[in-house]
Amino acid sequence: MRCLVRAIETGSFSAVARELGIGQPNVSRHIASLEKALGTRLLHRSTRQLVATAEGQRYYAQARQALELIAQAESDARGQQKPQGLLRVACAPTLGTEKIITALPAFLARYPDVEVELRLSDSYIDLIAEGVDIAVRGGVLKDSSLRARRVGTSERICVASAGYLDRHGTPEQPADLLQHQCLIYTLMAGGGGWPFKDGAVHVQGRVRLNSLDGIRKAVMQDLGIAYLPSWTIAEQLRSGELRPLLTAYSAGRSPLNAVYAAERLLPQRAAVFIDFISAVFAATPGLDGRSIVP
């Protein structure tokens, strides 16, 4: 059952073999034996990919929950009340490196039987396919297969360096951005429009990046106007190295959520991690629900 679940999630017998340490032929034999016992095909196999059949998808959803329940029952039977096991967390690189990794020593000291694997990417991650327990994501949850718990709020603002503004002037209203070089975040939802309280402005610019950290560095190099989470540039705003723009037109804060698969039992290690990062973000200017600009 475990082999089938992870084969569907990873799409690879070899990945399951490495994870479970049993060899790829054994993975194939286990799944074939399961299919024989059930009297139905659970996977379509080809040289390029594994795809679950309709029966396989239904079996997977219940098998995944069963495995979580078995793990919890075994833990309870052993009297192990403390969180334990491997926790897989996905989040954006900037948030992961600057807030989560820096807080990890305290978390690992508090929960010595938990291991943490971070998947740092600005791209959308399929939690089921990647075997991820929690993803930390901004915005309103739209996927009905996921559940979410708010762990903070994030405020995005327009900023530019003093050098850029000295050379090109300061925009007074959102429409003025169309006359400026704007730093484009290529992974931004909504087609790249920058939202303001009266509507989005579809900006343009000569520099495009798929990383918020890259955009932060680019705006500090006088390359254009950026639209960034305020917490990522709190230090530069305090020092005056970057200046906030168009704050009267701000679209407001958006939720930052810990999301997880609705069909899974949330492991205890994941629940305590969500509590932990909620406290971390509550102590972080720009993520704590309060604005860091006037």
Low-confidence ranges of the chain (pLDDT < 50): none
For each of the domains in the chain, give its residue range(s) and CATH number, in order of start. Answer: 2-77 (1.10.10.10), 85-150+256-282 (3.40.190.10), 153-253 (3.40.190.10)
| E-state strands within the chain | 43-45, 50-52, 85-91, 114-120, 134-138, 146-161, 184-185, 194-196, 199-201, 208-209, 226-229, 242-245, 253-261
Pair 226, 159: CB distance under 8 Å = yes
Query: What separation in angstroms does the CA of 200 have from each of 27, 171, 178, 197, 266?
Result: 51, 15, 12, 8, 37
Helix and strand element counts for the chain (H, E): 11, 13
pTM of the complete model beyond 0.85: no
Structure tokens given for 147: 């559940």
pLDDT at position 191: 62
Residue 251's nearest CA partner among 189, 113, 136, 158 is 158
pLDDT at position 80: 60
130-149 tens-digit pLDDT = 778 899 988 777 766 788 89
158-190 tens-digit pLDDT = 999 999 999 999 999 999 999 999 999 988 866
Average pLDDT of the residues of the chain:
88
pLDDT at position 147: 86
